[in-house]
Chains A and B, each alone.
Chain A
Amino acid sequence: MTLSAMLLCVNVMFAQAPNMSDGHTPPPIPPPVKKPCKLISFSLPCCSDKAVDVKDIADVKTEGPGANVVFNPDRATLPSLYATDTTTVSASACGKTLTAQIVMVNSDRKILAKNEPILNKLNKINDIANQKFKPMLEKTNRLLNKYLSFIGDFQSELKLGFNFGGEAYKICCPGQSPCIKSAYKVFGEGEAGLLGKCPIPVTGLPVIGKYLGGVDVVVTLGFSLVINVNAKTTCQSMAVCVNPEAKVTGGGGFAFKVAGFKAEGQALLDGGGVSSEICLLPDFEVKCVKFNTGKIKLVGNVSDKWGWVTVNFEYVVWDGASFPIYGCN
């Protein structure tokens, strides 16, 4: 008996079984139907920004036994000459071949995009930073001048310098449409601030009597925002914002001497700071700048040969002031 005849015989037996049932024999279980091996679908993610083995990212659906899928190429690599490259991958199984494409993104390779609005902005970012900061600092300077004129004659100079640059790249944004986007990198450094000098009358020196004006200490007082940036936009945000490093400078020395009497010391800046947030992209935007001068403290000694006594001192001569330069509450 051939195999097919035997199978046929079994089928006949199963087909006849219900009729043979006497209520004591359970119905037979049909054997599984063996489907033929089949490659149903094959897809890849829209993009990748790193080299990958295709098997790790491929979405393949097969049916039936023996579906050994072979990918060609089996590894997707990043383009070296271009920012993006479309790679076509084939998946073969069960005698069938399907293809899918993936865009490989070299996000370290800058692109030379012409007429890109944001890149055009980045090319002008130093001019824009100057235009934003200059009037702001000039206004602060006027404010400080007027405010401090009742203490002393404040003379100051603006500190403005920017050396930013920008580049464009492509990035892979899975799940977004389109999945390939332009990204922008801003790098470089800049400084915006002002530095002035102001004579502050020294109060609290009991050896010079009650009237002010006997001893002045010329203090420098200023602040600057130092912006160091090396950041890129992301799939989620087109903004590049930084909290610049804030520098507050101040201090100076003083000496008052007549024969047999000497008061000398240093004015030190105690505390002080600048709160700030600055965005360079998508537009150059100064969100908040607030300058707190800090306290001016005098440290020194008084030597009075009236009684040959030398006394050291350290005390606050000015408690400082806070200047909301722009945008802060």
Chain B
Amino acid sequence: MDVIKIMASMKRFLLSLLLLNAVLIISAQSRLKTPLPQLPAFQPGTFQLWIPSFLPGVMDDSVNAFNFHDTLIYNLNGQIFPGGYLLPKNSRGQKLSTPWETIAELVDAYKKRDRQRIVDLYNYTSADKVAEFLNGADANSFLDYVSKSANASLKIMGGIDYGNGIVVFVKDSIHGVHLNYLVKEGPAYKLSTLEDDKAVLWNIMNYFNYVPKPPVAVKGIGLPDSLNINGAVDVRIRVPEAGDWVGIYLPTPGESIRLLVQDNGPHDLDPDKNVIEFSIPGVIFITPGTYTFYIASFNYPAQRVTKNYFLSDAKYKIKVYEKKDDYDSY
């Protein structure tokens, strides 16, 4: 009887151990299997993208865009994220059933420098070429380069129908905008190589690189009434965002911006972010005279004057004179 009791208690003990194991295994498994991050749904539709034609880098494009008052208007089919969609830190294991899933998988593979996963994301016509490169001499430095981008607040800006596939624009905070061309291979969106000579993609890349905002008037700078063309006047200007530019320009549409200084750029004398300190040289006016000009800040390197830049509270007036020297008496 005792033996039976002992046997029974051992059985319960063993059962309880088994049960505990099972619970431990299940809980461990549940900890390993974190759910995949929820990426946005792929919901393409038609939309218009308005790109200022005076934005740096923008190409003429009368073929694909409607040109209206210094603006290129593109009618597109696709989906964009106005502020960009910031990819989650870990996005491995996507099904590749949407373009965003394929990009998330690519970014994760780049982060982890996983060559085979990168190759597997390409379609059958491109995979061999990519594999050859990733096993070549430049592969390590390439992976250094792309893993930096992948780890630098990478955002999906959007995607558009293009050719036989979809072009997805991604942007990182170091290297700017990258293009990805995806085609459907079965149920999956696969990456493919692309050579493009049209202006559409280039212009949209420039748009996403800067996501231009209207210029902001720089008000109330204490400028002198007059300035020697060979002299300069120092100014200190606070800009809305770090890395913004301050431009000085005359009210002549189509002309070059006379002076452009970037926050923390080579001509900014103030190391603080959001503050630009620089000299306005008289020579930017080229010849003596009385000038009306504007000072405004931009979130892109403004290059050409356009009517949109004529902000009434950014207007200044100065008399530029020249002290004659020996060389002027010819």
Q: B267 touching A203 by the CB < 8 A rule?
A: no
Q: Flag if A315 contacts B59 (CB, 8 Å).
A: yes
Decide if B52 is an interface residue (CB 8 Å cutoff).
no
Q: How far is the CB of A281 from chain B (nearest CB, A)?
A: 18
Say yes or no: is A310 at the interface (Cβ < 8 Å to chain B).
yes
Write out the residue numbers on chain B whose beta carbons fall within 8 Å of the beta carbon of A162.
none
Interface members, chain A 194-209 (any B CB < 8 Å): 203-209
Q: Which of B26-34, B38-46, B79-87, B141-149 contacts A (4 or more CB under 8 A)?
A: B141-149
Contacting residues, chain A, for B286 (C-beta < 8 A): 143, 147, 321-324
* CB of B284 closer than 8 Å to a CB of A: yes
Q: What's the Cα separation between A146 and B280 when bound, in Å?
A: 11
Evaluate contact between B328 and A209: CB separation under 8 angstroms. no
User: Is B176 an interface residue, CB under 8 A from the partner?
Assistant: yes
Residue of A150, A306, A317 near B149 (CB, 8 A) is A306
In the complex, which residues of chain A have a beta carbon less than 8 angstroms from the beta carbon of B173?
209
Residue of B nearest to A323 (CB): B286
With known contacts A210-B210, A211-B262, A313-B59, A308–B191 Cβ distance under 8 A:
yes
Q: Is the interface of B mostly helix, strand, loop or mixed?
A: mixed
Quick one: which of A243-291 are within 8 Å of B by CB?
Answer: 258-261, 286
How many interface residues does chain B have, given as a range? 35 or more
Looking at the complex, which one of B181, B301, B328 makes contact with A212 (CB distance below 8 Å)? B301
Chain B residues 188-220 with CB under 8 Å of chain A are 191-197, 201-202, 205-206, 208-210
A150 to B254, CA, bound (A): 20
- B327 near A: Cβ within 8 Å? yes
* CB proximity to A under 8 Å, residues B128-155: 129-130, 133, 138-142, 144-146, 149
State whether the Cβ of B57 lies closer than 8 Å to any Cβ in chain A.
yes
**B274 contacts the other chain (CB 8 A):** no
Q: How far is the CA of A71 from the CA of B292 in the complex (A)?
A: 78
Closest A residue to B205 using CB positions = A206
Q: Is there contact, CB below 8 Å, between B201 and A311?
A: yes
> Complex formed: what's the CA distance from A213 to B328 in Å?
36
Contact A203 B57 (CB under 8 A): yes
The one of A143, A211, A306, A315 that contacts B265, using a Cβ cutoff of 8 Å: A211
Q: A205–B194 contact, CB under 8 A?
A: no
* Residues of chain B contacted by A319 (CB below 8 angstroms): 254-256, 303-304
Q: What distance in Å separates the Cβ of B207 from its nearest Cβ neighbour in chain A?
A: 8
Per the bound structure, the CA–CA distance linking A212 and B230 in Å amounts to: 27
Contact A318 B281 (CB under 8 A): no
Contacts of B210 in A (CB 8 A): 210
The complex places the Cα of A258 from the Cα of B147 at a distance, in Å, of 14
Q: Which residues of A contact B208 (CB under 8 A)?
A: 206
> Taking the complex as formed, is B76 at the interface, i.e. its CB lies under 8 A from any CB of chain A?
no
Determine whether A96 belongs to the interface, using a CB cutoff of 8 Å to chain B. no
Tell me which of A138, A305, A312 contacts B197 (CB under 8 A).
A312
Taking the complex as formed, is A304 at the interface, i.e. its CB lies under 8 A from any CB of chain B? Answer: yes
Docked Cα-Cα span, A104 to B175, in Å, equals 83
Contact of A136 with B by CB under 8 A? yes
Name A136's closest neighbour in chain B (CB-CB).
B330
Q: Does A3 contact B (CB under 8 A)?
A: no
- Whether B176 pairs with A147 at a CB distance below 8 angstroms is no
Residues in B with CB closer than 8 Å to A323 are 286
Q: For B133, list chain A residues within 8 Å (CB).
A: 260, 305
Are the C-beta atoms of B175 and A132 separated by less than 8 Å? no
Known interface pairs A139-B327, A142-B327, A309-B194; 5 further A-B residue pairs with C-beta atoms within 8 A, sorted by A's residue number = A210-B209, A259-B139, A307-B191, A311-B197, A320-B256
22 contacts between A and B (CB under 8 A): A135-B328, A136-B330, A142-B327, A150-B259, A205-B57, A206-B208, A210-B210, A210-B243, A212-B265, A259-B139, A259-B142, A259-B144, A305-B142, A307-B179, A307-B194, A309-B181, A312-B196, A313-B59, A317-B56, A317-B57, A319-B256, A326-B330
Q: Chain A interface (Cβ within 8 Å of chain B)?
A: 132, 135-136, 138-139, 142-143, 146-147, 150, 203-213, 258-261, 286, 304-324, 326
Closest 9 CB pairs of A and B: A204-B57, A259-B141, A260-B142, A204-B56, A307-B180, A206-B209, A206-B205, A209-B176, A203-B56
